[in-house]
């Protein structure tokens, strides 16, 4: 007698895929660690002071510098103005890794001197570039006349 094999198979339901992902995913162990690290980074810098040049006083100073107009001699002959005196702007490169002295910087400093004299105009005379002056590797000096131009 031949023995018949039984073709009965047990039916097992396949596992839920979402459970397999969580169970087999090694990254799930690190999620709480990542969340803690992010929270720590967000709160660790909360005691630092933040300062910015976005201060109303800085805007006023900037507006004053913009209001110093540059004039030449030909234009001044037709204007009503008061000569407030000579101003000087000096740009200095003190160390090798400092920015090089420039005419632009020296002129900006001269405009600041005009503001101190309550002027609203400037007429540049000359700028001189020098090397190896006392205290400066390079320096630029700009001389100008501070003016108060009357608005009639």
Please tell me the total count of domains within the chain. 1
> Running DSSP on this structure, what letter comes out for residue 33?
H
Dist. CA 91–CA 101, nearest whole Å:
5
CATH number where 80 lies? 3.30.110.70
DSSP 121-148: EEEEEEEEEEEEETTEEEEEEEEEEEEE
- For residue range 88-137, list pLDDT tens digits in order: 999 999 999 999 999 999 999 999 999 999 999 999 999 999 988 889 99
Residue 44 falls inside a structural domain: no
Residue 17 falls inside a structural domain: no
DSSP-derived pairing of the beta strands 69-70 and 121-133: parallel
- For residue range 40-71, list pLDDT tens digits in order: 666 666 566 656 666 666 655 555 556 899 99
pTM above 0.75, yes or no: no
Residue 15 falls inside a structural domain: no
Residue 60 falls inside a structural domain: yes
Which pLDDT does position 67 carry in this prediction? 80
Residue 12 falls inside a structural domain: no
Residue 139 falls inside a structural domain: yes
Dist. CA 50–CA 57, nearest whole Å:
17
Dist. CA 152–CA 74, nearest whole Å:
19
Residue 6 falls inside a structural domain: no
Which pLDDT does position 133 carry in this prediction? 87
Range of the domain at 97: 56-149
Residue 29 falls inside a structural domain: no
């Amino acid at each position: 007698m031949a023995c018949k094999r039984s073709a009965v198979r047990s039916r097992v339901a396949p596992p839920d895929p979402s459970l397999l992902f969580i169970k087999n995913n090694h990254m799930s162990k690190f999620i709480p660690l990542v969340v803690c690290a992010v929270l720590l980074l967000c709160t660790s810098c909360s005691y630092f002071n933040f300062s910015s040049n976005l201060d109303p006083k800085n805007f006023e100073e900037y507006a004053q510098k913009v209001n110093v107009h540059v004039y030449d001699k030909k234009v001044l002959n037709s204007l009503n103005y008061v000569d407030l005196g000579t101003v000087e702007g000096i740009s200095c490169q003190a160390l090798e890794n400092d920015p090089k002295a420039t005419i632009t910087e020296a002129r900006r400093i001269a405009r600041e001197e005009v503001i101190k004299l309550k002027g609203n105009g400037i007429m540049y005379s000359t700028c001189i570039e020098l090397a190896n002056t006392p205290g400066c590797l390079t320096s630029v000096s700009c001389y100008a006349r501070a003016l108060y131009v009357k608005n009639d």
